[in-house]
Amino acid sequence: MSKLVKRLVSRDISNRLDGVNDAILANIVGMTGEQNYNIRKALRDSGVTIMVVKRTMAARATEGSSLRPAFDNQAGSMAVIWGCEDFVALAKLITKMEISGKFPKFEIKGGVMDGDGLTADQVKKISKWPSRQEQISMLVGQILSPGATLSGQLVGPARKIAGQVKKMIEDREEGTDAAESSSAAE
C-alpha cells in the first residue's frame, strides 16, 4: 500500500474514532461470514459500533489520542468496539458475548479506558463492576434511606396519638349516645 493510501485510510479511521475515549479490542479473525454478520448485528442492535482495522493503521490513526494505548502490545487485524452507555456496560456486553459460545473465534484482546491500556483480563474484571445505572440506583437508595428512616420516626408517634384521639372521640360519642338513650327512656 502506498503512503498516500495509508494516509487516507489512517485519516478515515481517525475520523470514525473521533470522540471515542473508551473501546475494547477483540479478535474476530477466522469467523465464518454468517458468524461475522450475526456478531455485527447483535452489536448494532445494542447500539455498539464495531470496526475491523489493522493494528499499525489504527495506531497511526489514534496517535496523540486517548485510544492510542489500546494498540500497544497487539498484533495483526482486530476489531475496535465502542459505544454503550458507559465502558462497564460495554465490557459486560462483550464479555457475555465471548462467554456465550455462539461465536467460538471471538476473543477479547484488550481495550482502553480513560486513556489507560487494558489487558483482556482487566476488561473481564471491569465487566463485574456495577454499571452506571446500577451505581446511580445504589446512590439514590443511600440518599433516600435516611429520609425514609426519619419519615418513619415522625409518622410512628403521630399515628399512635391519632389512634388515641380517635379512641377518645369514639368513647365520648358512646357516652353521649348512652346518656341520650337513658334520658329518652325516662
Contact 88, 126 (CB under 8 A): yes
Cα–Cα distance measured from residue 128 to residue 41, given in angstroms and rounded to the nearest whole number: 24
pLDDT of the residue at 62: 81
Task: Decide: pTM greater than 0.85.
Answer: no
pLDDT of 185 > 60? The answer is: no
Q: What is the pLDDT of residues 136-147, one digit of tens each?
A: 888 888 888 887
**The pLDDT value given to residue 105:** 84
69-120 per-position pLDDT tens digit: 887 777 778 888 988 888 888 899 989 988 888 888 888 888 888 888 888 8
At 7 the pLDDT is 84
CATH of segment(s) 3-129: 3.30.70.1730
What local confidence, expressed as pLDDT, does residue 178 receive?
A: 61
The residue written with cell numbers 455462539 in the block is: 102
Indicate if the pLDDT at residue 177 is higher than 60. yes
